[in-house]
Amino acid sequence: MAAFIVLALTFGSLLAAGANLLIAVVGVGIGVVGILAYGTYAPMDDNALILAAMLGLAVGIDYSLFILSRYKTELRAGKTVSEAIGQAVGTAGTAVVFAGMTVIVALCALMVADIDYVTQMGLGAAFAVLTAVLLALTMLPAVMRILGLRILTRAQRAAYLRGDDSTAVAGSTKHGVMFKWGDFVVKRPVFSLLAGVLTLVVVALPMLSMKTAFSIPGGADPQGTERSAYNLIVDEFGGTQSPLMVLVEGSEVTDHVAEVEQGLTEYPGVRSVTPAQVNDTGDYARIIVTPEGGPIDERTKDLVHMLRDEADAVSGVHLEVTGETAIGIDQDEQLMSALITYVCVIVVLSMMLLIVLFRSLLVPLIATVGYLLSVGASFGASVAVFQWGWFDPIIAAPQGDPMMSLLPLILVGVLFGLAMDYQVFLVSRIQEMYHRGLSPRDAVREGFARSGPVLVAAASIMVVVFAGFASSSFAIGASIALGLLVGVAADAFIVRLVLTPALLTLLGHSAWWLPRWLDRILPDVDVEGRALESSVQNTLPTRESVHA
């Protein structure tokens, strides 16, 4: 309902808002049914469905919003319904394809973690995004043809029929809020840049104390009776509920097992050592070690690492450490290690896509740096809320535990895709104006004024969607949603609406620089719809009209 209200205010038409939501809901339905169908052949993690539904709904609304907004703009420029549909799909639709490809690449790259359920989440969400893109390019044009002029307000429709609204697009942007905001940023780029970066850095500071854990023992609620009972046992008896299992192997196990037992009792963080159980052949022995702390205690992690580092301290035998606690520590470290690889993979792949789209080296670099700042803000807010316990009366999900080790990986992937979405939709419009002959500053002002309102509406809808999931009492879903909410808000309202126009203004013509050898080999992506101009009258402003 909140998304419907935002769409109605954006379009000024309940019919257009309903059509936009219809496409998104159909896309989510198809995506979820597809994932469930796959789940009948192979096990599927529950979180894969949650992430797919959350992301499919958000991008489904956004992609349709961008194309519908361009369709309405073309109608107001005096084009026929068929021409407006072709122009909208040929311009905004091309941007949707590249934005969707970027999101899909980021989600599919979750496979680098080499963890089954993480791969399932990434592929499931990627399928939902692919469905949203396909519906935006197929079902949406058909819906636009059915709607015709009814997407316009009554006053706009009357002006269109009279034929006196063909210049509305060229002149209206100068009086809008976004034009004034863009003009403010263009006139004060250094101040805007410093203020935006400072804000994001302050929000990201809690990230420095971020702790992660693969699973939280004793139940999800730190205030629940299950957790109280678990903590009481840990305090009085140590980690007896999740002990470490030490396997002693070698040809001289029987001769050295007593020495191994004695050595284990001397390690810091060990509460007790259960006598070894030796197999019949005498080449293996199992020893149960009870740590002083619980599975997510730093002392327990240090103990596991010390045991493994000194696995060959006793000659003739070798030690291996396993058990639920050790496995959880290993998986947490595996996810953190995969995070670094994952960031490198998606940055490289997405930089390649953006270089092809914008034919520039600096614009993709700006997009990537801005994304890293928004991810930092997302991590910082997640730590402050779920680890430190801020906003406990507002957030229903349990708080006070370390962040789930899966969360950073998911946030990095999804936010990268969404950040590139906003970059594509904002900068492609600025680029369009620049290639029309406007100066860099005028191109930023005019492109910002045209794409800014739609971007604000899209980000607002994203925030609303994620806020709905963040209000859940389900810890994993709420933590993912809150991280995405803060990340989207930071990226859209600070990075894209402040930092990006400020940097493009400071760079000027050099923002669109590309080496000649690279320019010759790159394919030409017609995101501006230049190929459509042979049949459609050019209605975009010239440099002279903007100065006038």
pLDDT exceeds cutoff 80 at 461:
yes
CA–CA gap between residue 505 and residue 427 (Å, rounded): 12
* Degrees to nearest 5, angle at CA 78 with 63 and 136: 15
pLDDT at 168: 46
Residue where a domain stops, chosen among 282, 297, 322: 322
- Nearest-angstrom CA–CA distance, 1 and 51: 20
What is the domain-level CATH number for residue 80? 1.20.1640.10
Task: Please give the pLDDT value at position 215.
Answer: 77
Q: Does residue 143 lie within any of the structural domains?
A: yes
Mean pLDDT within 489-509: 92
Distance of CA 15 to the CA centre of its chain: 30
Beta strand 212-213 with 403-404 is: parallel
Note the pLDDT tens digit of each residue in 233-279: 888 888 788 899 999 998 888 888 888 888 998 999 899 998 888 88
- Within-domain flag for 158: yes
User: For the stretch 419-431, what's the b/e string if a residue is b when 16 or more beta carbons lie within 10 angstroms of its beta carbon?
Assistant: bbbbbbbbbbbbb
**285 and 374 share one domain:** no
**138/182 same-domain check:** yes
Q: Tens digits of per-residue pLDDT, 57-66? A: 888 988 999 8
Encoded tokens for 541 = 């402003």
Shared-domain flag, residues 171 and 290: no
Q: 547 or 62: whose pLDDT is higher?
A: 62
**Token output for 407:** 């969360």
pLDDT of residue 544: 42
Provide the pLDDT for residue 244: 92
With respect to residue 237, please indicate whether it lies within any of the assigned structural domains. no
- The answer to whether residue 25 is domain-embedded is yes
Q: Tell me the average pLDDT across 315-328.
A: 90
| Residue 291 shares a structural domain with residue 357 | no
- The last residue of one of the domains, among 322, 343, 362, is 322
List C-alpha distances in Å: 1 to 243, 446, 468, 476.
49, 32, 11, 24
Please state which of the ranges 24-28, 29-33, 326-330, 336-340 shows the lowest mean pLDDT.
336-340
Work out the percent of the chain whose per-residue pLDDT is above 70: 92
**Residue 506 is assigned to a structural domain of this protein:** yes
Q: Is 13 left (phi over 0), alpha (psi -120 to 50) or beta?
A: beta
Number of domains in the chain: 2
Range with the poorest average pLDDT among 397-411, 463-477, 496-510, 525-539: 525-539
* Amino acid in the structure at residue 124: G
Report the alpha-carbon distance of residue 137 to residue 64 in Å, rounded.
Answer: 9
| Average pLDDT rounded to a whole number, residues 6-29 | 88
Same domain as 24, residue 155:
yes
**Highest mean pLDDT out of 51-55, 212-216, 285-289:** 285-289
Interval 367-423: pLDDT, tens: 888 988 999 999 999 898 888 878 776 777 667 778 888 888 888 888 887 888 788
Domain that residue 255 falls in: 243-322
In a domain, 223, yes or no: no
- Taking the C-alpha atoms of residue 304 and residue 418, their distance in angstroms, rounded to an integer, is 39
485 and 372 housed in the same domain: yes
Confidence of residue 545 (pLDDT cuts 50, 70, 90): very low
Contacts of 488 (CB under 8 A, 6+ apart): 374, 415, 418, 459, 462, 463, 466
Place of tokens 């006598």: 275
> What pLDDT is recorded for position 172?
47
The Cα–Cα gap between 106 and 109 comes to 5
Domain shared by 286 and 311, yes or no: yes
Give the pLDDT of residue 359: 85
* Span 100-156, pLDDT tens digits: 888 888 888 888 777 788 888 888 999 999 999 999 999 999 999 998 888 888 888
376 and 399 housed in the same domain:
yes
What's 523's DSSP letter? -
Quick one: CA dihedral 169, 175, 177, 182, positive or negative? Answer: positive
CB-CB contact of 459 with 493 (8 Å): yes
Let me know whether 493 and 534 are in one domain. yes
Number of H helices, E strands in the chain: 20, 7
CATH number, position 310: 3.30.70.100
Q: 13 — phi, psi (to 5°)?
A: -150, 125
- pLDDT confidence band for 533 (50 / 70 / 90): low
Beta bridge partner(s), residue 249:
284, 318
> Which among 295, 322, 349 is the end of a domain?
322
State residue 534's pLDDT score.
53
Residue 234 in domain? no
Helix 406-435 and helix 475-490: axis angle, to 10°? 30
Instruction: Identify the helix (H) or strand (E) that includes residue 197.
Output: helix 189-204
Mean pLDDT over 35-53 rounds to: 81
Does residue 250 share a domain with residue 108? no
pLDDT of residue 133: 94
Model pLDDT, residue 389: 79
Q: Given pLDDT bands bounded at 50, 70 and 90, which one contains residue 498?
A: very high
Decide if 308 is inside a domain: yes
Let me know whether 266 and 343 are in one domain. no
- Alpha-helical segments (H) within 40-167: 46-76, 81-108, 116-147, 154-162
Residue 436 sits in the same domain as residue 474: yes
Please, what is the end-to-end C-alpha distance for the chain in angstroms?
42
